[in-house]
Chains A and B, each alone.
Chain A
Amino acid sequence: MKKFKINKSLKDNLLTYGMVILAYLIMQILIGTGNVSSLMQGLLVPLCVYVILAVSLNLTVGILGELSLGHAGFMCVGAFTGAFFSKCMQDVITFSLLRFILAIVIGAVAAGIIGFLIGMPVLRLRGDYLAIVTLAFGEIIKNIINVLYIGKDSKGFHFSLKDSLSLGLEEGGTVIINGAQGITGTPKDATFTMGIILIILTLIIVLNLIHSRDGRAIMSIRDNLIASESVGINITKYKLMAFSISAALAGVAGVLYAHNLSSLMATPKNFGYNMSIMILVFVVLGGIGNIRGSIISAVILTLLPELLRGLSNYRMLIYSIILIAMMLFNWSPKFIHLREKYSLKRLIRKNKEVQ
C-alpha cells in the first residue's frame, strides 16, 4: 500500500512535467509549421508568467494554507529589479541570455528578501487578517514604485521619491526608473523556451518541496497549527520558508513579465490587488493545493478573455459569467454530487473495480 502511494505521487509529478513539456513540443511544432496566430505567439510568454505565478501562489495558499492577496507585489519587485538590472547592464553585458539569467536571479532574490521581511511580522496573523495585510503590502509596494525615481550619470546613481527633477542629474545622465512612467526600453529577452524552462524549474522547486520533509512539516501547519507545534515543528521557520520561496518565484515571473514588454509601469491593473486576486482565482479554480490544476486554470483563464474578443464589448461580461459558472461547477457541493452520480468515467471505473 505504501509503495503504491509513492508511485502515485511520482506518477502524478511526472504527469505534470510531461504535460508542460508536451505543450511546449506541440507549440514548437506548430510554430515551426507556421500554424500559430500572432496572438497566440504573443500570448506564450504571458502564459508562462501566469503559470509560474499560479504555481507559486499555490505554495502559499494551498500548501501553507494562508490566504495572500499581495502576490502581485512580489511580482512587481521582481519585475522592477530585473528590468532595472537589464537596463543598466544593457551596454555592459551584450550577451542577452547571460544578462537575462542574471536578471532573473536578481529579481528572484530581491522578491524573496522582500517576502522574508514582510513574512516575519505578518505571518503571525491568521486568515482574513493576514489576507488584508498582504493586500496592504502589495499596495504599498506598488505605491512606492510609483513615486520612485532612479537616475544614473557619471557620478553614479541618484534616488528620489519626489520627481525626476530632484534627482539632480548632470548633463547626459539618464533616468532609469521614472516614477509612474516606469522603465521604458527594457530589452525583450524573454522567450517561450526560457519561460518553459522557468516553469519547469518552478515545478521542480515546488514539487520537491512538497514531497520533502520540510514540505510535510509545512502541510502539517496548514492542517493543524497547534498539533504541529506540539510535536516540535518550528512554525515560524517553515511558514517563512514557504512564504519567501513563493515570493521569490513570483519575482521570477515578474522578471519574465518585464522582459516581454518594452514598457514597464506599476499600474493598478498589472501589479495592484486586482492582479493578486486574479492569481488567486487561478489557484482556487484549479484546486487549492493542486499544482497541475493551477497550471491548467492559469492557461484557461488567460486565454479566455482573448478567445472572447469576437464578442467585442460583451467580452468581459461573458467572462465574468463563465467565471461564476466554473466556480459553481467546480466547487458547489450539489454540482459535485451530481457530477459524481452521472459521470460516465466513474461508472466505468466502478465496473472495473467490481470486476
Chain B
Amino acid sequence: MSFISYLINGISLGSVYAIIALGYTMVYGIAKMLNFAHGDVIMVGSFTVFFAVSMQGLPTAAGIILSVVLCTLLGITIEYIAYRPLRGAASSLAVLITAIGVSYFLQNVALLIFGANTKAFTSVVTIPAIKLAEGQIIISGETIVTIISCIVIMIGLTLFINKTKAGQAMLAVSEDKGAAQLMGINVNATISLTFAIGSALAAIAGMLLCSAYPSLTPYTGSMPGIKAFVAAVFGGIGSIPGALIGGIVLGIIEILSKAYISSQMADAIVFMVLIIVLLVKPTGILGKKIQEKV
C-alpha cells in the first residue's frame, strides 16, 4: 500500500516538473537556447498571484490572468533586451550567460520588493483531494489540476505548432533561421511569440508549483527550474510530449529513491539515472536523432 502512495506522490511531484519543463522545452525547441531565467519567471508569476490575491484581495481568477499577462510581457521584454542583441553572436554560450544574468536580476528585484521572508502561498486550486482505500491513498486537488493542465497544454501546443501558421513558422525557424527568413517569416517576431508563450506557461507553472508546495521566496524558482531542465533533457529536449514524460518519470524516480534507497542521496540517484538514460539513448527518451552531415 505504501508503494502506491509513493507512486502517487511521485506523480504529483513529477507533474509539477512536467509543467515547468513544457515551457523550457518549448523555448529550447524553437530558440535553441537554454533559458536559465525560466525558473525565475516562474517565481515572478507566483509572486504576482500572491501580491494580487493575498495582499490586494483580488479574486483568484483576476490574479491568475494578471500573472499570465505580466509574465508574457516580461518574457517578451527579456527576449528583446537581453537575448535578441546576441542573436548571431559568435558563440551560443554568450546568450546562456546573459540568461544567468537575467536570472540573478529577477531574483534580486524580487528580494528587494518582497523581502526574504518566506510567504505561504494560498492554493489557487479549490478541488478537494480524492481519498482512496480508507484514506490511505490521497490524491490532492493540486495534482489533479496539474496533470490535467499538463495534458491540455501539451495537446494545445502540439496543435498550435502543427496546425496554425504561426506554429509552422516556429517550426521553420527552429529548423533553419536563414531559410525561414527567405520564406518571408519574421524571425524576430516568431521568437518573441515563442518567449511569450513560454513565459505564459511559466506563470501557470509557477502558480501550480506554489499551490502544491506553498512556500514562496525569491529563490523558489531556481531549483525546480534546474530539475525541470533535467526533466526536459530526460524526455528529449525540444519534444513536447517528452517534457511531460520526462517530468513524471523524474518525479517518480526521485520519490522512490528517497523511499527505498536513501533520502540523503535522492538527488545523486536521480542524476545517475539521467546519465544512464542519456548514455543509452543520447538524445533523451523522445528526442530526435540528429544526423550530422559531413
Contact = CB atoms under 8 A, between A and B. Distances in A.
A304 interface: no
B121 to A, nearest CB: 23
A132 B229 contact: yes
Interface stretch (B2-10, B86-94, B201-209): B86-94
Contact of A316 (B86, B89, B104): B104
A147 B102 contact: no
Interface stretch (A29-37, A210-218, A329-337): A329-337
A277 interface: yes
B91 to A, nearest CB: 5
Interface string A262-292: 0000000000010001001100110010000
Given A122-B275, A124-B282, A144-B265, A332 B89 contact: yes
Nearest to B284: A129
B100 to A, nearest CB: 6
Interface string B64-96: 000000000000000000100110111101101
Contacts of B104: 316, 319-320, 323
Interface stretch (B105-113, B165-173, B192-200): B105-113
Interface string B208-250: 0000000000000000001001100100010000000000000
Interface string B242-286: 000000000000000000001011011001101100110011100
B258 to A, nearest CB: 13
A281 B286 CA distance: 31
Interface stretch (A42-50, A133-141, A150-158, A244-252): A133-141
B86 A331 contact: yes
B93 A67 contact: yes
B97 interface: yes
A324 B265 contact: no
Contact of B101 (A139, A230, A324, A332): A324
Contacts of B264: 143, 146-147, 161
A340 interface: no
Contacts of A144: 265, 268
Contacts, number: 130
A225 B82 CA distance: 32
B46 to A, nearest CB: 20
B93 A61 contact: yes
B279 A332 contact: no
A320 B108 contact: yes
A139 B91 CA distance: 26
Contacts of B294: 226-227, 230
Among B82, B97, B268, B275, residue most surrounded by chain A Cβ atoms (within 10 Å)? B97
B85 A328 contact: yes
A332 B86 contact: yes
A127 to B, nearest CB: 9
A314 interface: yes
B292 A226 contact: yes
Nearest to A326: B101
Contacts of A131: 34
A39 interface: no
A174 to B, nearest CB: 22
B188 interface: no
Nearest to A144: B268
Interface in A305-355: 313-314, 316-317, 319-321, 323-324, 327-328, 330-335
Interface of B: 28, 34, 36, 82, 85-86, 88-91, 93-94, 96-98, 100-102, 104-105, 108-109, 112, 226, 229-230, 233, 237, 262, 264-265, 267-268, 271-272, 274-275, 278-279, 282-284, 292, 294
21 contacts: A121-B279, A122-B275, A124-B282, A125-B278, A128-B28, A133-B275, A139-B268, A140-B267, A143-B267, A144-B265, A161-B265, A227-B294, A288-B90, A320-B102, A320-B104, A320-B108, A324-B82, A328-B85, A331-B86, A331-B89, A333-B89
